[in-house]
Amino acid sequence: MSTGLLTLFCAAAFVLVWWLARSRARSIEQANRGQRLHSRPVYHGVYVALLTVIPALLVVVAWAIAEPFYLSKIMSAALPPDVAARPAGEQSLVLLVINSLADGWSRLTAADIAQVREAGPDVQRMLAAKDIFLPSAPEGWMVDIARDVSQAKSVSRLLATGVTVLAAVGGFFYGWRKVATGLRARNLVERMMLLGLMSASAVAIFTTIGIVFSVLFESIHFFSMVPVTDFLFGTVWDPRFSAAGSDSSGQFGVLPLLWGTLYISFFALLVAVPVGLMSAIYMSEYANERVRTVAKPMLEILAGIPTIVYGLFALIAFGPFLRDFGGSLGLDISANSVLTAGIVMGVMIIPFISSLSDDIISAVPQSLRDGSYGLGATQSETIKQVVLPAALPGIVGAVLLAASRAIGETMIVVMAAGIAANLTANPFEQVTTMTVKIVSQLTGDLEFNSPQTLVAFALGLTLFVITLGLNVFALHIVRTYREQYD
Amino acid sequence: MADITADPARTRARAWNSDEARARTRKRYAAERRFRMYGIAALCFATAFLVILFTTIIGTGWTAFLQSKFLLNVTFAEDVIAPDGKRDEQTLRLANWDKIARTALYQVIGANEADRKERKDANELLSRGIDVQLRDMVLASPDLIGQTKPVWLLAQGNVDALLKGAIDRDIPEDRRQLNNRQLAWVDAAVDKGILAKKFNTGLFTFGASSQPETAGLLVAIVGSFFMMLTVALLAVPIGVAAAIYLEEFAPKNRWTDLIEVNINNLAAVPSIVFGLLGLAVFISFMGLPRSASLVGGLVLTLMTLPTVIIASRAALTAVPPSIREGALGVGASKMQAVFHHVLPLALPGIMTGTILGLVQALGETAPLLMIGLVAFVVDVPSTPLEPATALPVQIYMWASSAERGFVERTAGATIVLLGFLFIMNALAVFLRRRFERRW
């Protein structure tokens, strides 16, 4: 059954049961005149409806998770010993053929199956006409397994439907019988709601766990093929020719990428820190209301522009401009130079620095400024010698957060930075970043077991660890700073 | 006293009206003015960059909204379209549509049909997508067969580029995309008024194509729409529920601290890492189809969730405690107080935050590249499970094509994307202005 239909059916069942139970609660109230219900009839309705739908949904979800494991167990148990001994990569192909056959089993007639068994030349095309697409022609024993699997599957589906209906009906009758004047339906419903709210807030935890595990798992897989030290300390990035694995040492060195990432981020901060900080100072200390109402939204627009637009701008306008400009000065600036990506990225992170610094500078108590003015300092002297030192930890936090943005930024560097992994200190040349390589290793046709693909996850892990470290540190600084003046 | 009389020079320098003191004050005021100028310069730099960015994008992209088309008197000759008299779909699909368009073109520009070279030159003026255009017209109303009707047909990309001034007429013929004869034809057609730039509806109705003139954004817009729908249906309920729990019910303990730290960190995780998560969990582990907008929507949901949670929490905090206390005072339960009183009052703020989350999701590209939305999709997806692409991804794909027509379309697509973002932001601002309450 499709998910949409299932959802619709659940909703309909919910409403129906809710209505039935509510009417029952009302009639009970009317029958026992003088004795009011503990909870209003609506809550009785919701209570019974939840009792009906939730167990059924739990069964459906549990089944959907368990069934593939059960089927794959049947499948691997039935594999001939010589196939079972093959490496995982080849086996997965066989399993794919069997799975596809089993999925489409119901669409095949007895004659079709006989034809598949004989393995004529057109079997694949015949099956494709019936929406069964196979990577290779099936062999006779695969057909047997596919039959078993498809039978097991239909049995399992039948069982699942039965158990689901049973759970729903059981839940319904349990709730139905409990509807009475004394039932504390509201408290029970509210407890279930609280549980729902709690699980929603746990999604954030699961996301983090998901990120850590998916990236870590694939990275470990990668490090089983390429030694960790080669990855971390290698100075050559050249993933293409190491498929054989024999002379792969040094080919997946992350250092050039790390260098490129940090170098571009450095230029970005070189642009963003002065501009962002000065705008923040001007806006919080000098600007009148009119300037603020124009400048603040302007910086917000800068923050709201998608990074792909910045990337496009760097690609079609800023890169060529810098190249021609450098040419007129006699400098050889590549259109995809460190400078191009760095400056455009710097503009992108200006708003991060300015808005955070603005908050932080505004949080410095007025009494500090007044004291400084009282001693005869000018406004800029006050800012430079009193306000900024007081706000320094917070500003450092803001800069670190911006740095983590710059390091994790993808689209600007994908479009505006180079693809050659150079270890160069010349800002007019191309370098590449970790994010660029993640994208280039993972777009196009993927083969999930090759180090060329898996290295993207190792790069992702490196990126995640670096940005996480920066974020935790920066948030810690900002938080301690905020508490200082509370 | 010794101090006063000891050093008359220093005393003079310290006096407020001494020359040295005045010079010092002037210097300090100059420093003050300079410092103030730095601030203005910083704001001007940001503004200038913004202006240059927008003028560049709009200046490059606005021509994408116009497309050169020929006005041709097309005769839907029955002997060409359906020689055997059958008018079923199969016949119509396979008919020689190019021929009827070309016949009409030869007549207007006066090309000699017998000359093979001349015929080829003339054919190159029309887009390769015209057969689809004519076919769809006839499929929509089969009565057209046998009639003659003026139709605006797409010109080829080079003709379009010439009309938009992107092809230099002065470069030698052998290196120019259009030869002298074609140039003359085009000029004559423009003079006659049968070749003109019209509003480019194709930009919004075509899918992917290798020819710039028949490449459009429809698949990307539909894909982005599905993704926004997924995000709105998942991120909003989950995010609001999480915010309600954390703000109204959660006890202060380790577990809630952990959740809070988590949310703050998730908001700062690079978006590309979410793409890796989507690839590993949704595609490789759960077996959802690659290139499907549903997967994109799920990844974007996880990515926007922190934004929605943080914004909703801010909106809930802004509701004064007296509202809760009032509700509790008249006998409401905690849950009732929240859902009947606090949540409705916080709703405008939540909506604003949600729209800002959607804006972030709509402009996001990097995680979508990981999960296969970089795809050449011609047919418009009708469900979120079919292959699709997204607006920013389409921009990325067009940006990697070298042809002039695609450069213009890339910037045009960017204008469309920025337009959508502008509308959503305006809606958020409107909601904030209209419904925001200050207590």
Q: One-letter amino acid identity for B394?
A: Q
| pLDDT tens column, B158-210 | 888 888 887 888 888 888 888 888 888 888 888 888 888 888 888 888 888 88
Taking alpha carbons only, the member of A418, A415, A220, A406 closest to residue A315 is: A415
Contacts A443 to B, Cβ<8 Å: 369-370, 374
Instruction: Give the count of Cβ contacts less than 8 A between chain A and B.
Output: 248
What is the full per-residue pLDDT of chain A (486 aa) written as tens digits?
Answer: 466 787 888 888 889 988 988 888 888 888 877 678 888 888 888 899 998 888 888 888 888 888 888 888 887 777 777 777 776 666 777 777 777 777 777 777 777 777 777 766 667 777 777 767 776 767 777 777 888 888 888 888 889 889 989 999 999 999 888 888 888 889 999 999 999 999 999 888 899 999 999 899 889 988 888 888 888 888 888 876 444 444 444 478 888 899 999 999 999 999 999 999 999 999 999 989 998 888 888 888 898 899 999 999 999 899 999 999 988 988 888 888 889 999 999 999 999 999 989 988 988 899 999 999 999 999 999 999 999 999 988 899 999 999 999 999 999 999 888 888 888 888 888 888 999 989 888 876 666 677 888 888 999 999 999 999 998 888 888 777 766 665
Q: Is A170 exposed, middle or buried (0-12, 13-18, 19+ CB in 10 A)?
A: middle
pLDDT of A404? 92
CB nearest A312 (choices: B40, B45, B395): B395
| pLDDT tens column, B258-275 | 888 888 888 889 999 999
Q: Which residues of chain B have pLDDT under 70?
A: 1-14
Residues A442, B274: C-beta atoms closer than 8 Å: no
Give me the domains of chain A, ranges plus CATH numbers.
Answer: 3-183 (no CATH), 255-484 (1.10.3720.10)
CB nearest B269 (choices: A197, A306, A467): A467
Contacts A286 to B, Cβ<8 Å: 36, 39
Residues A380, B32: C-beta atoms closer than 8 Å: yes
Instruction: Extract the tokens encoding B269.
Output: 């995780």
Tell me which residues of chain A, numbers 75 to 94, contact chain B at a CB-CB cutoff of 8 Å. none
Residue from A261, A312, A325, A476 whose CB has the most chain B CBs within 10 Å, to mutate: A312
Q: ipTM score of the complex?
A: 0.88
> How many angstroms separate the CA of residue A118 from the nearest CA in chain B?
31
Taking alpha carbons only, the member of A440, A436, A443, A442 closest to residue A407 is: A436
> How many angstroms separate the CA of residue A178 from the nearest CA in chain B?
22
Residues B276, A475: C-beta atoms closer than 8 Å: no
Decide: helix, strand or coil at residue B151: strand
Residues B42, A276: C-beta atoms closer than 8 Å: yes
DSSP secondary structure letter of residue A85: T
Residue from A199, A203, A310 whose CB has the most chain B CBs within 10 Å, to mutate: A203
> At A52, which helix (H) or strand (E)?
helix A41-78
A312 reaches B (C-beta below 8 A)? yes
Residues A460, B272: C-beta atoms closer than 8 Å: yes
Cβ contact B49:A347 at 8 Å: yes
pLDDT of B245? 94
Instruction: Extract the tokens encoding A92.
Output: 């997965």
> How many angstroms separate the CA of residue B122 from the nearest CA in chain A?
33
Nearest CA in chain B to A303: B360
In terms of CATH, what superfamily is B218-435?
Answer: MetI-like (1.10.3720.10)
Taking alpha carbons only, the member of A396, A422, A395 closest to residue A263 is: A422
CB nearest A200 (choices: B241, B280, B364): B241
Q: Which residues contact A207 (CB under 8 A, 6 or more apart)?
A: B266, B277, B302, B305
